[in-house]
Chains A and B, each alone.
Chain A
Amino acid sequence: MQLFNSISTTVFDVLLAPFGHGVALFDLILWPALLGVMAILVYKAVSNQAALTRVKSQISMRLLEIRLFSHDIVQVLKSTGSILWKNTIYLGNHMIPMAVMIVPFMAVMAQLVANYAYAPSPTGAVELLHVKLDPESGVSSQDVQLAIPDGVALEVPAVKTADGQVFWRLRADEPGDHVLSVFVGDEIYEKHWAVGGDDRKIPTRRLRGIESFLYPSEPTLPAGGPVLSMEMDVHSRSLPFLPDGELGVVLWTLILSLGAGFAVKGVFGVTI
């Protein structure tokens, strides 16, 4: 997963470099639109277009049948049942393209979320760093320590729970991309904290395993290590006309990419 995230992050860092992070709206139109166009091309390549055309035609035929034979209630019921069945087949025909597209397009959306969904914590803000330990590692929360860099202050002593969770209340005194070092036994785990400055890619959570796929800003936590997750409270970025933060970016990307896909499907002769 680390390798996958590294590659996707490198690629996106290169792609996004010319545009920066200043005007989110521009980026959030360009990339989802390109995503939609890409999706439609991939869709065409991996889907069974003939089968889709056939089943769509059968569905629309049954819809017409309902209209034409509206006087015949038995025929209407038959046609409705047929449509439901054909719709299942229609959905089934989407599964292969969906399976092919789901991983790369989720990666793209995760990159867009990382780059555009969050804002750096303002200078002076107090945020919570939350580390969760793997209960099976045998490590106690009492064995966890935090080293903070210059420009970051600990507001109150850490709260350590018996179920392996540790919370630090931190204050950002100076802007910068701070690196927080968490000591767990002999091992050190780093967590980045973006404070002040321009909009940029914001690290939020470090996870291990497959879930880290959605949080590509920081390296994946090592599998089999004592730490399950490291999470820093972050601020949602305010997006014009859209819900703030992750929800806004995900929904917007989905809607715009769908819109773009439907808009160009005729150009590329794609049946959806």
Chain B
Amino acid sequence: MSTARTLAAAFVVALGTLAAEQAHAYIGPGAGFAFVGSLAVLLVTFAIAFAIILTWPLRLAYRLITVGDPYKNAKAKRVVILGLDGMDPGLLTKFIRDGRMPNFQKLAEQGVFRPLDTSVPSMSPVAWSTFATGVDASAHGIYDFLTRDPCTYGPMLSSTDIVAAKKVVNIGRYVIPLGKARMKLLQKSQHFWKLLGEKNIFSIIQRVPITFPPVPFKNGMLLSGMCVPDLRGSQGTFSFFSTETNDGEAKFVGGEQTVLRPNRQGKIRSRIVGPDNSMLKSGGRMTLPFGLEPAADGKSAVLAIDGQEPITLPLGEYTDWIELPFDAAPTVTVRGIAKFYLVSLEPEVNLYMTPIHIDPENPAMPISHPEVYAIYLAKKQGKFATLGLAEDTWALNNRVVTEKVFYDQAMSIYEERERMFLDAIEQSKQGLITTVFDTTDRIQHMFYRYLDPDHPANAGKDTEEWKDAIGQVYEKVDGLLGKVWHLVDDPNTAFMVISDHGFTNFRRCVNVNSWLRDNGYLYLKDEEAFESGEYLEGVDWSRTRAFALGLTGVFVNRKGRERSGIVEEGSEYRKLVQEIAEKLGQLVDPQTGQGCVRRVAVSQQFFSGPYRFDAPDLLVGWEGGYRHSWECAVGQVTRDVFSDNDRSWSGDHCVDPSIVPGVFLSNRTLAEENPRLIDIPASVLRLFGQEIPGYMQGQMIFPEDGAEGTTKGMLDPTSLPQSGAAPGALIFPERAETSPRRASGES
């Protein structure tokens, strides 16, 4: 209606304007603005469109001559892969049997549903790297989120290396970089969509983890996923503004805590802390001052960020994405986006702000390939979450927000992702479309305790309100499948639903560093001390032979690899890893009297790839219910080896990979009974009629001749291990767990 009104007004005014003799020369800047703007648009449009249309036959001919018809031998002209991080085959089966997943049931019955063997170790950066490359961790080099810097023993991101521009010019108080910061994806091997691109098969890749920084490739677009940092460069630092204090200090912990101090009228002035300002010689953080004025009725507040229009924050609701422009230097603005959530106004003011995401419309770092792809998506669908770990699990873990706040956030991110995915499918009638949804993973991490009435994390927390959160998310995804169905229901489209791993309970924390200390493998400089600082601070490297960092790994302090390594290569090393593996494998939880380790993999025996030397020397395969402790993950030694996990992060998958397979569903039947994540790239290549490169470790799982496969229909629910699964997650609560399944790369 408004468009019609606008056009009618345009017509009337245009008539009047044209009727005025000589006026056209005088109509001035008002019309000039319109004329210049629209003329520019028209010129650019026609220039680009004509260039593309006129050269299209030439480009087509060139492609046919150089590559030929890329789909000549294809078994599918389009492959659509819906990635659901962490979707668990046990829970999916349970919900299907409960009648809550009609679309998944239909897909399973008409096609196939099987567990999907995950990677070793079974965590997202490793698994999705395997998905992207078709090789195991020893060939793509990603073993965990974090690894240790062998030169410092300090932590470093496994996936990304960012180095500031080397050449700079000093002007006054500013440091002007002469070039861009160098960002490098540390993942080795190559993405299979690059191979498709070289054969002129187009790909749209959205939010596949460990794709930051994006690696350019031909014929396709990619939006980076997990491990995209926030604007501060971290993996997600929320901000919490509160009037609540403990002796003047912030009461809450985690993230960026700011104490608010209202004036006599109740108005508040504070500032949003942004990224480090590397353009200032004196350094420091960029900030955005703001005012917060609670409304008289106590149901909202007005947030006025300096230089921007004030916005009303309703109590208990998220805002839309708010632009946060940080001025680094004159004419240099670093742009981020965040959402605000007004938690409370009385008796205390509590305001939560999400981590500052890179603004997709003005990205401070490349988050897509080509760079304009993120801009295109933002313009098409509105601003969206760009942070790798977009759902703010830390805020809930630190209890600065409630389950509802976290759930609402996760759902809004899910909606953004759904729009992207559906749009990509509608736009591409040929080629590969892959989108990974993280919601399933994050909700299961944070709400798993609701499935286990006796979970240690339930103490002092709600156990009723959100007890069906996981079920609701699964239903939501089933709804997505329903929307996708008619878009992929054609014989030329191969459709797959996959997850990188499943889920199990996380009740008990095991500090492997403390165990190594107790068993004489790790020593602290202070012999009287039982505890160390984070990231192995206080460890005596002259005597320490092994240490743990990350979520599954144990490193040997190897001579020639670690800076202060003491374990000689050869027999000493082999004997040590074997000894630790055997002892650790017999570790018993004193609380239950049962073993908590299913298997310890010795990397040098387990892996064969070229980067096995960089691997943690041992990978601990926990039984369900156990995981490296929070302190162990950050290289800390604590007094006790075992402790209860009382955090909201109550489900996990960093256990023995055989316990937590992912899901595989497809509208096509299979030639293999046991599909593996590592098989997916090889299978996609074959579906498009391309050869599988020799370095890939997977195989084609669909029938090569296009005939009906032998593996089809629903999986056998009794085949799922469900080790340690919470009572609420069990398909057959009365059933004991079965034997472990084979994991990817395992010989």
Question: Using a CB–CB distance below 8 Å, which chain A residues touch chain B?
Answer: 35-36, 39-40, 42-43, 51, 56-61, 63-73, 75-77, 79-80, 83-84, 87-102, 105-106, 108-110, 210-211, 214, 250, 253-254, 257-258, 261-262, 272
A61 & B3 in contact (Cβ 8 Å cutoff) = no
A250 & B21 in contact (Cβ 8 Å cutoff) = no
Chain A contacts of B56 at CB under 8 A? 73, 76
Which residue among A69, A92, A108 has the maximum number of chain B CB atoms within 10 Å of its CB? A92
State how many angstroms separate the Cβ of B90 from the closest Cβ of chain A.
40
A254 & B49 in contact (Cβ 8 Å cutoff) = no
Which residue among A63, A83, A98, A101 has the maximum number of chain B CB atoms within 10 Å of its CB? A98
B30 & A84 in contact (Cβ 8 Å cutoff) = no
State how many angstroms separate the Cβ of A269 from the closest Cβ of chain B.
9
State how many angstroms separate the Cβ of B223 from the closest Cβ of chain A.
12
Stretch at the interface among B33-41, B109-117, B250-258: B33-41
Partner of B27 from the list A57, A63, A98 (CB cut-off 8 Å) is: A98
Main secondary structure on chain B at its contact with chain A? helix
Chain A contacts of B375 at CB under 8 A? 64
Partner of A98 from the list B30, B372, B373 (CB cut-off 8 Å) is: B30
Give residues 337-381 of B contacting A (CB, 8 Å).
370, 372-373, 375-376, 379-380
A56 to B9, CA, bound (A): 19
B29 & A94 in contact (Cβ 8 Å cutoff) = no
State how many angstroms separate the Cβ of A94 from the closest Cβ of chain B.
3
Count CB-based A-B contacts (< 8 Å): 164
State how many angstroms separate the Cβ of A21 from the closest Cβ of chain B.
21
Q: Are A92 and B3 CB-contacts (below 8 A) given A68-B370, A102-B28? A: yes
Partner of B45 from the list A61, A83, A214 (CB cut-off 8 Å) is: A83
Chain B contacts of A84 at CB under 8 A? 42, 45
A96 to B14, CA, bound (A): 10
B29 & A87 in contact (Cβ 8 Å cutoff) = no
Give residues 191-249 of B contacting A (CB, 8 Å).
202, 219, 221
A105 to B17, CA, bound (A): 14
B34 & A106 in contact (Cβ 8 Å cutoff) = no
Question: Using a CB–CB distance below 8 Å, which chain B residues touch chain A?
Answer: 2-3, 6-7, 9-10, 13-14, 16-17, 20-23, 25-34, 36-38, 41-42, 44-46, 48-49, 52-53, 56, 59, 202, 219, 221, 370, 372-373, 375-376, 379-380, 427
Chain B contacts of A94 at CB under 8 A? 10, 30-31, 33-34, 37-38
A35 & B21 in contact (Cβ 8 Å cutoff) = no
Partner of B30 from the list A72, A80, A105, A262 (CB cut-off 8 Å) is: A105
Task: Other than A90-B38, A102-B17, give 6 A-B pairs with Cβ distance below 8 A.
Answer: A63-B41, A87-B42, A95-B14, A98-B13, A106-B26, A254-B32
Chain A contacts of B30 at CB under 8 A? 39, 42-43, 94, 97-98, 100-102, 105
Give the nearest-CB partner of B20 in chain A. Answer: A210
Chain B contacts of A211 at CB under 8 A? 21-22
Partner of A67 from the list B6, B29, B41, B372 (CB cut-off 8 Å) is: B372
A75 to B428, CA, bound (A): 9
State how many angstroms separate the Cβ of B366 from the closest Cβ of chain A.
15
Partner of A39 from the list B14, B23, B29, B380 (CB cut-off 8 Å) is: B29
A68 to B368, CA, bound (A): 12
A60 & B379 in contact (Cβ 8 Å cutoff) = yes
Chain B contacts of A87 at CB under 8 A? 38, 41-42, 45
B9 & A92 in contact (Cβ 8 Å cutoff) = yes
Partner of B48 from the list A43, A61, A67, A73 (CB cut-off 8 Å) is: A67
A261 & B219 in contact (Cβ 8 Å cutoff) = no
